[in-house]
Amino acid sequence: MSLENAATLIVHPGKELEKLNALASAPRIAILSLLKNKDLNINEIASRLDLPRSSAATNVAILEEAGLVHVEYKRAKKGLQKRCSLAFEKILIEF
């Protein structure tokens, strides 16, 4: 992974297939689009995309493993909640 600046990720397809695979999903693209506007927790993501909570959590985990989102645990009324935010403002694919 190389960064043009702190907010841009440049992905090289021959070297970073995990990131491209994470982007190859309509629900994951929708999650990234939602997070562009504000940080959300898993329940908020699931509700806004009309997904089961487990599907939202799985897709967020894939994005997190690929380094495309940050997940932070915050205190909630009952236990902890996962707050998700974008890791990069822009993602460029460079061949």
pLDDT tens per residue across span 12-38: 988 889 999 999 999 999 999 999 999
d(CA 53, CA 89): 25
* 6 — pLDDT class (breaks 50, 70, 90): low
Provide the pLDDT for residue 1: 34
d(CA 54, CA 95) in angstroms, rounded, equals 34
Write the pLDDT tens digit of every residue in 38-58: 999 999 999 999 999 999 999
SS3 27: helix
Residue among 22, 48, 21 at smallest CA distance from 35: 48
- For residue 78, the model assigns a pLDDT of 83
Contact 48, 41 (CB under 8 A): no
- The pLDDT assigned to 5 comes to 41
